[in-house]
Amino acid sequence: MALVGAVLPQKLRRAQVLEFFGQLLSCVVAMEACGGAHFWGREIGKLGHDVRLIPAAYVKRIGCLEIGILCRLVPRGFDR
């Protein structure tokens, strides 16, 4: 499955997460930093993906904007 600049807003159950990311080609995976994100970040990273954790304050701010902006911000990082 090759997706370029795609945002996948679908919900996954815990049992589906590793199976889903295992089928994708290596890519940047952005997640909101929360209690479970560090665990999933390590597990998804083991599959060859580049995992970026986004502070919750930025996710809430971006949630009001067009989601396509997130695709441009994640590779560069977030500045305060």
Judge whether residue 65 has pLDDT over 60. Answer: no
> For residue 60, what pLDDT is reported?
65
Q: How far apart are CA 3 and CA 64, in angstroms?
A: 24
Q: What 3-state DSSP class applies to 9? A: coil
Cβ proximity of 31 and 54 under 8 Å:
yes
Residue 68 clears pLDDT 80, i.e. is over it: no
Write down the pLDDT at residue 12.
Answer: 79
* Domain positions in the chain: 14-76
What pLDDT score does 29 carry? 84
Whether residue 54 contacts residue 75, with contact meaning beta carbons closer than 8 Å, is answered with: no
Query: Could you report the per-residue pLDDT of 10-63, keeping only the tens digit for each?
Result: 677 889 889 988 988 888 888 888 888 899 999 999 999 988 888 877 766 655
What is the C-alpha to C-alpha distance for residues 57 and 70, in angstroms, rounded to an integer? 14
Cβ pair 21, 40 in contact under 8 A: no
